[in-house]
Amino acid sequence: MATDEFVARSHILHRAFSEQPAKIVGGDGISLILDNGEKVIDASCGPSVSCLGHTQPEVFDAITNHLKNDIAYVYSGSPYTNGATEELADILLAEKPGGLSKAIFVNSGSEATDAALKLAIQYWHERGQPQRTHFISRKQSYHGNTIGALCVSGHESRREFYKDFMSSNVSFVDPCYAYRMKWEMESNEDFAQRLARQFEDEIIRVGPDRVAGFIAETVSGTTLGCLPAVPGYFKAIRDICDKYEVLLILDEIICGMGKTGTMHAWEQEGIRGPDIQTIGKALGAGFVPLSGVLLHQKIFDALSAGSGGLAHGHTFQAHPLACAAAIAVQKIIKRDNLIERVAEMGHKLEALLYEEIGPLPLVGDIRGRGLFWAIEFVLDKNSKSAFLPRDNFCGKVVKVALSMGLNILGNLGHTGEYQVDHVLVCPAYTTTEVELANIVSLLRSSILETTRQFVVAEQPNEIPNCKVNVKVAEVGLVEI
């Protein structure tokens, strides 16, 4: 594939080489402003980050006021703390949700995953069980792009180049992907119990005295597309973790901080909470990079009774300016009751998606919670037959949508056994009903336009009553 001329000239190593990226010069509410004056509705908040949209003067003021009146940088390894870091931790943990009582603030979600894994290992050392170094994760999961985070990520294409660096003390069990994995006539309860038995069997195979933790996304993000677990799954997982003293690490970097209609996605799972939790993205809404790790009081107690410190750190850990921005974000969310609003608007978005998108011929499943939704595309609704990776149907939908002024997010490469062609719709918490309707209308148009390339209509201009080209069954999707 030829390299774009602009990309070749640019001193930035862009993530894609074949096309010149459009240049963003500003934001207006939930929209991006391009250098040609056009506006694009950001219906995915980037990768589900900009939960307050792109125009928040209060956050801008908080950043500049902090720089004027406080310290810009304090090294977390020094004998100092700062007001912004302490205040943000107080905001998040004053009520000790699920027993979570301490926070580590870092930059990216990948750093948060690495910190969580190292924290789990240190915990077992402090408990006198240093042999507990094995982690169990789930297939087709994604926990970050550093080497450490990739080791526990079941994202095949992102791991491919780095196989030689992947840890041997990680094993994978099935995700809770009911749409494709639940047996015919199997109830949700039976499906959850089947996966729970698989998890327990894996603990026994590895050896209960060797397993440090189980890591899972409470609601899967970009790999499986806003996928909630079936009812009872996480309760069964929590019980098994307790039975074998395995730490439960929940990754809420993308799905947490209000996105599913509660501050923490695990609050909807009927469990007491995780032992370690990662957060990010909506924590600071993208104004300054920030992610974090929340840990249960028992983790702190073990460290306190043992070495008396954290055997981990980064230069920019607990950055005061990033924390000051996040404080402003969290105060806006609380003051304006935005998490309650996410739950309310989420029901409206759900209804719109089922009404406008659900009947389309290549739409197989619609799933999500709050303002965190995905649409999975299939060749055939009845058989749930998937597109081939080379078809890149969801990528084409994303491209067509962008040409119509809508920014959405597609899947990020081949993730594993199941080919999951999906797009994410996770608009800002401030999105209005009118904007939701516009987003869904543009999404419908982009799916229909893309569908026209791959189907033959029964009647002219009647795409919803169409059938897939016969060539699909023989050689995969064929553009017409």
Question: pLDDT tens, 48-86?
Answer: 999 999 999 999 999 999 999 999 999 999 999 999 999
Same fold, 5-55+338-456 and 58-336: no
What residue type is 350 in one-letter code? E
Q: Could you tell me the pLDDT band of residue 453, with boundaries at 50, 70 and 90?
A: confident
- Looking at the structure, give the CATH architecture of the domain made up of residues 58-336: 3-Layer(aba) Sandwich (3.40)
Q: What is the pLDDT of residue 138?
A: 98
Please give the backbone phi and psi of residue 411, each rounded to the nearest 5 degrees, phi first.
-70, 155
Enumerate helices (H) and strands (E) in the chain, giving the number of each: 16, 19
pLDDT, tens digit (0-9, with 9 covering 90-100), for 188-211: 999 999 999 999 999 999 999 999
pLDDT, tens digit (0-9, with 9 covering 90-100), for 344-391: 999 999 999 999 999 999 999 999 999 999 999 999 999 999 998 889
> Does residue 173 surpass a pLDDT of 80?
yes
Distance (Å, whole) CA 252 – CA 349: 21
> Are the beta carbons of 439 and 413 closer than 8 angstroms?
no
Q: What is the pLDDT of residue 464?
A: 52
pLDDT, tens digit (0-9, with 9 covering 90-100), for 96-144: 999 999 999 999 999 999 999 999 999 999 999 999 999 999 999 999 9
**Average confidence (pLDDT) over 13-28:** 94
**Global pTM exceeds 0.85:** yes
**Average confidence (pLDDT) over 20-43:** 96
Q: Where are the domains of the chain?
A: 5-55+338-456, 58-336
Q: Which of 401, 396, 421 is nearest to 411 (CA)?
A: 421
Q: Could you tell me the pLDDT band of residue 306, with boundaries at 50, 70 and 90?
A: very high
Q: What is the pLDDT of residue 466?
A: 52
Place of tokens 């840890």: 167
Distance (Å, whole) CA 358 – CA 364: 8
> Does residue 291 surpass a pLDDT of 60?
yes
Q: What is the pLDDT of residue 477?
A: 40
∠ Cα 186 189 194 (to 5°):
75
Q: What is the pLDDT of residue 198?
A: 98
> Does residue 394 surpass a pLDDT of 70?
yes
Which helix (H) or strand (E) is 455 found in, with range? strand 455-457
Residue 95 exposed, middle or buried by CB count within 10 Å (0-12, 13-18, 19+):
exposed
Structure tokens at 3: 């390299």
Bridge partners, 103 (sequence order): 294
Q: Which of 338, 416, 423, 333 is nearest to 374 (CA)?
A: 423
Structure tokens at 10: 């640019």
Q: What is the pLDDT of residue 480?
A: 33
> Does residue 467 surpass a pLDDT of 60?
no
Strands 170-173 and 134-138, by their bridges, are: parallel
Q: What is the pLDDT of residue 463?
A: 54
> Does residue 253 surpass a pLDDT of 70?
yes
Region of poorest pLDDT, from 192-196, 315-319, 379-383, 455-459: 455-459
Task: Give the 3-state secondary structure of 232-244.
Answer: CHHHHHHHHHHHH
What CATH topology corresponds to 5-55+338-456?
A: Aspartate Aminotransferase, domain 1 (3.90.1150)
**Average confidence (pLDDT) over 182-190:** 96
Q: Could you tell me the pLDDT band of residue 472, with boundaries at 50, 70 and 90?
A: very low
Bridge partners, 104 (sequence order): 293
- The rounded Cα 232 to chain-centroid distance in angstroms is 21
Mean per-residue pLDDT over the chain, rounded: 94
